Structure 1
Amino acid sequence: MPQISSRAQGATAPPERGGAALVSYVLPVFNEQDGIRRFHEELVAALGERPEYAYELVYVNDGSVDGTPAVLEDIAKNDPRVRVVDFARNFGHQMAITAGIDEARGDAVIVMDTDLQDPPKVSLQLIDAWRDGAEIVHARRRSRQDTFFKKTTAHAFYRLLRSSTEVDIPVDTGDFRLMDRRAADELRRFRERSRFVRGMVASIGFRQSEVHFDRDERFAGETKYPLKKMARLAVDGLTGFSTAPLRMITKLGFAVLALSLVGICYALAMKLLRPDITVSGWTMLMVVVLFLGGVQMLSLGVLGSYIGRTYNEVQGRPLYTVRQVISYDARPGGDGVGHGH
């Protein structure tokens, strides 16, 4: 069994090693017991094509409720390069990525999902681009095996987000990317709770490039980003990197004011010019009341989103809670090393 010791959040120190550059893989996992072994096998096979690097594989168990924790611990026992960050509960995909980056010690850090939609071999192209001088390398989807609805909404969202923010967020890219050590360290300084990691990465600058790939179908299990979570992520992206919704409220207010003035002028004109004709009272009144009520509720909802973000940040709570970090020491005489937050 691995030993457990205390360590503060995000306090990982760089390892002492030889001349080979260390590449860290950050691998968030949630209820992937049916596919995680297959993913690990394919990743290990891919890494065998670049033996000139050293590797560490940081799996982050995001509060899985199936057999995933046991599978991950068994993988760690059989591969000394593996560390398992075990969350105390489910904190979400973006927090799992954050914890993995906090834990990673490599000269380069690659973030990718473990459902085999992001092919492990593509990560080698990210490493090649990093070796050629890029400090952040985005994996951009050339095509994706998803439903028509998801592809259409994702296409529209990325372009809407890019057009409404001052940050140049790459389109058609998820969280599959490589970051140089300096970029990863800079990202670790971002501690807001409502996280949109792909926007945060784009905002820190550095030399950025892209690698295009075809996204595969999920190997096993169900998507961990249903419509509700996708909508929440979209809201975090818009409210975290754009004040466009607030500006939209102002524009909408002016539009409603203009329509109201037109209605008032129409009512006065009919009253003065055609006093014998009664203006449609009840229907017009209900339309105006319902329209204004809808506008007000929408405005309050947008304001509530920004106020809620402020409230969460002011609380200052930890981003996540780790039960333990499991790893097995590869050094002679080492029976295992683990850490707990």
Structure 2
Amino acid sequence: MKSISIVTPCYNEEANVKEVYAQVKAVIEQLGNYSYEHIFIDNASKDNTLMLLKELAAVDPNVKIIANSRNFGHIRSPYHALLQASGDAVILLVADLQDPPKMIKDFVEKWEEGYKVVLGVKTESEESFLMFGVRKMYYNFINRVSEIELTKNNTGFGLYDKQIIQILREIDDPYPYFRGLISDIGFPSYKIEYLQPQRKRGITKNNFYTLYDIAMLGITNHSKIPLRLAAMLGFAMSAISFLVAIVYLLAKLIFWNYFSVGLAPLVIGLFFFSSVQLFFIGIIGEYIGSIHTQVLKRPLVVEKERINFIKDHDINK
């Protein structure tokens, strides 16, 4: 009997964990001849999420819990849980039900056909039109600058064969851009389009900083174009500045009594070049920060406790 691991990261999702558990269990029962585990990784929730998960685990041994010692963020915690999965196929599914659990059936069907990666691609969304548009622009931008082709409109929701998970374990990245790593590994993927439903309970845990963090992580991990653009733009602007200086000099010599240089071009030019410099210093800082994170080599998370894991089957323990 093949086994399927469902991985669900949680942070303050007391309104949703029981519902996502029930929906996943119903889908797995419909599939039939599969065993499964549902791994919830709780990122030090401040509400009753962990307590509710423990209640589920007490009555259903298929529910496994990893409780983090603190909040390790939206990048490291889900990735750590994926590496702990023991199934022949591993499915990443968020707790807020914006990843429809009913799609598990479609993922497994395509996996049985031979695809080692099956991805859910949200072509439409019931979320804010503005936010969906901004996300779409980002995916288009990062695909243009990336050294590899990334999957647009995929948040990580999908199925990954155990071979893919083993490769991820060997990569040992302390701050991974998961979506990029899947594309970088290079196995052909099957993409299933879906409409992303609106969150019905609770509030999103994403904010400007978390979205900016993952956006910059995608750029710094998979593109050197911003760094090279700084060098090329610097050369081009220095050449333009030199030509403008020559033009101003000639104009002053020819029209000595009528041509006034004025302070406006000087002030505008100063602010323009200063802002461009600050922008690219910031870009360089992002790359340095990424290198710094890699050099520190800190663990993805520190676990406070595990529930319903069998010691012989613990991964990386």
- Give the equivalent residue in structure 2 for 1:295: 276
Q: Which of these residues, 248, 252, 255, is aligned with residue 233 of structure 2? A: 252
Q: Secondary structure at the match of 1:24?
A: strand
Tell me how far 1:208 sits from its aligned partner: 1.4
Partner of 2:142: 161
Q: Of 226, 243, 259, which residue of structure 2 is paired with 1:262?
A: 243
Paired position in structure 1 for 2:45: 64
In the TM superposition, structure 1's runs of 4+ consecutive aligned residues that sit over 6 Å from their partners are: 337-341
Residue aligning to 1:151: 132
**Structure 2 matches for 1:1-341, cutoff 5 A?**
20-327=1-308
Higher share in helix: 2
Q: Using the alignment, how far apart are the partners of 1:303 and 1:340 within structure 2?
A: 34
How far apart, CA to CA, are the structure 2 residues paired with 1:126 and 1:298? 42
Q: Deviations over 1:120-179 (max 9, x none)?
A: 110111111000000011111131111121111111111111111121111111110111
CA distance in 2, matches of 1:265, 1:284: 14
2: CA distance, partners of 1:105 / 1:217: 31
CA-based RMSD of the aligned residues comes to 1.8
* 1:191–1:319 Cα contact (<8 Å) kept: no
Deviation at 1:322, TM superposition (A): 0.7
TM-score under structure 1 length normalisation: 0.88
Secondary structure in 1 aligned to 2:199? coil
- Report the secondary structure of 2:14's partner residue: coil
Residues in 1 aligned to 2:114 and 2:82: alpha-carbon distance in whole angstroms: 21
CA gap 1:340/1:259 in 2 versus in 1, 3 angstroms: closer
State the shift of 1:340 in Å. Answer: 12
CA contact (8 A) 1:323 1:340 kept: no
Identity of aligned residues (%): 27
Q: State the number of aligned residues.
A: 315
Tell me the distance in 2 between the aligned counterparts of 1:154 and 1:251: 28
Deviations, residues 234-262 of structure 1 (Å, cap 9, x unaligned)? 01111111112112212321332133123
Farther-moved stretch of structure 1 (278-287 vs 214-223)? 278-287
The offset of 1:209, in angstroms, is 1.1
Aligned counterparts of 2:179 and 2:316: Cα–Cα separation in 1: 28
Letter in 2 for 1:56: E
Gaps of 5+ in 1: 1-19, 330-336
CA–CA distance in structure 2, aligned partners of residues 340 and 158 of structure 1: 33
Measure, in 1, the Cα distance between the counterparts of 2:174 and 2:287: 13
Q: What do the CA deviations read for 1:180-219 (whole angstroms, capped 9, x no partner)? A: 1101110122333332111111111123111111111113
Stretch moving more, 105-114 or 212-221:
212-221
| Unaligned 5+ runs, structure 2 | none
Partner of 1:12: none
Q: Distance in 1 between matches of 2:176 and 2:217?
A: 7
In the alignment, the residues of structure 2 paired with residue 209 and residue 268 of structure 1 have an alpha-carbon distance, to the nearest angstrom, of: 62
Q: What amino acid is the match of 1:244? A: I
